[in-house]
Amino acid sequence: MTQTQQIPSIQLNDGVEIPQLGFGVFQVPPKDTEQAVTLALEAGYRHIDTAAAYRNEEGVGRAIDASGLRRDEVFLTTKVFNHDHGRDRTLRAFDGSLGRLGFDFVDLYLIHWPVPTKDLYVETWKTLEELHDDGRIRSIGVSNFNSDHLERLEREASTTPSVNQVELHPYFQQPELRSFHAEHGVATEAWSPLGQGYEIGDDTIGTIASGHDKTPAQVILRWHLQLGNVVIPKSVTPERIRENIDLFDFELSHEDMDRIAQLDRGERLGPDPATFEAP
């Protein structure tokens, strides 16, 4: 059985299925993106996560196009960034992303950050609903939204986001937000799933990894999968790309999961969604 056949999918609240393990290209330089995504697709990944703000959509599109895979065999996510909130700017941003990717639809389109000081994320969300209704996006979601942002969408919009992609790793586990997602039918997707590498050296993670004859990174990614998270590790190293998909020949015990749960420090590495205002 190939790695691709082993990767489970999660059914989102709109019926779309998303591969639970994907490949992220945040901080992958544009010049390296096509090669990295090509290696990921060759290794068996069928879910690629990019964003307009990453400035590497072109490389993602070229790699998928050259892969020999049908477009419907690859789940593709991109995002609208902060300076493009509001209906007209969002529509232009979406067209720009499609043009750079070279495709006529995406599988998942996310609002990258809520930017509450602009107070435009509801209008932006309603624009995503329009694009979804037009068939140009299969599923719509958000990224870096807190529960109060999600509650406002629930009150003022017609649909619930299918996904909330948030910072989540063993030192920052967001249990309250994950519980909110579960109650409201929103899938949790983890960015920076390895804590930007800091947690790979954790003694508890290392002990668990030794017990399974796996690397610390594999243990952390397996922990995400068993929690039910969608997870999108990033690497440009061929060995790491292959290692990060090799997660389906072992399982963490309840004790392993409990020990990792106790590592939560509430330590955020990225910006706080309540205050982040990058243009």
Per-residue three-class SS string for the chain: CCHHHHCCEEECCCCCEEECECEECCCCCHHHHHHHHHHHHHHCCCEEECCHHHCCHHHHHHHHHHCCCCHHHCEEEEEECHHHCCHHHHHHHHHHHHHHHCCCCEEEEEECCCCCCCCCHHHHHHHHHHHHHCCCEEEEEEECCCHHHHHHHHHHCCCCCCEEEEECECCECCHHHHHHHHHHCCEEEEECCCHHHHHHHCHHHHHHHHHHCCCHHHHHHHHHHHHCCEECCCCCCHHHHHHCCCCCCCCCCHHHHHHHHCCCCCCCCCCCCCCCCCC
Residue 272 lies in a domain: no
**What per-residue confidence (pLDDT) applies to 2?**
60
Report the distance separating Cα 216 and Cα 104, nearest Å: 39
What domain count does the chain have?
Answer: 1
Residue 7 lies in a domain: no
Please give the structure tokens belonging to residue 143. Answer: 């990224």
Residue 133 lies in a domain: yes
**What per-residue confidence (pLDDT) applies to 188?**
98
Residue 148 lies in a domain: yes
Residue 225 lies in a domain: yes
Per the structure, the complete domain to which residue 69 belongs is given by: 13-261
Instruction: Give, for all 279 residues of the chain, the pLDDT tens digit.
Output: 466 669 999 999 999 999 999 999 999 999 999 999 999 999 999 999 999 999 999 999 999 999 999 999 999 999 999 999 999 999 999 999 999 999 999 999 999 999 999 999 999 999 999 999 999 999 999 999 999 999 999 999 999 999 999 999 999 999 999 999 999 999 999 999 999 988 999 999 999 999 999 999 999 999 999 999 999 999 999 999 999 999 999 999 999 999 999 999 999 999 999 999 877
pLDDT digits (tens, 9 = 90+) for 1-35: 466 669 999 999 999 999 999 999 999 999 999 99
Q: Which residues 6+ apart lie within 8 Å of 77 measured at CB?
A: 22, 47, 48, 49, 50, 106, 107, 108, 109, 110
**What per-residue confidence (pLDDT) applies to 164?**
99
**What per-residue confidence (pLDDT) applies to 108?**
99
Residue 251 lies in a domain: yes
The CATH number linked to 37 is 3.20.20.100
Residue 250 lies in a domain: yes
Nearest Cα to 57, choosing from 99, 106, 101? Answer: 101
**What per-residue confidence (pLDDT) applies to 278?**
78
Among all residues, which ones are annotated catalytic? 54
Residue 269 lies in a domain: no
**What per-residue confidence (pLDDT) applies to 4?**
64
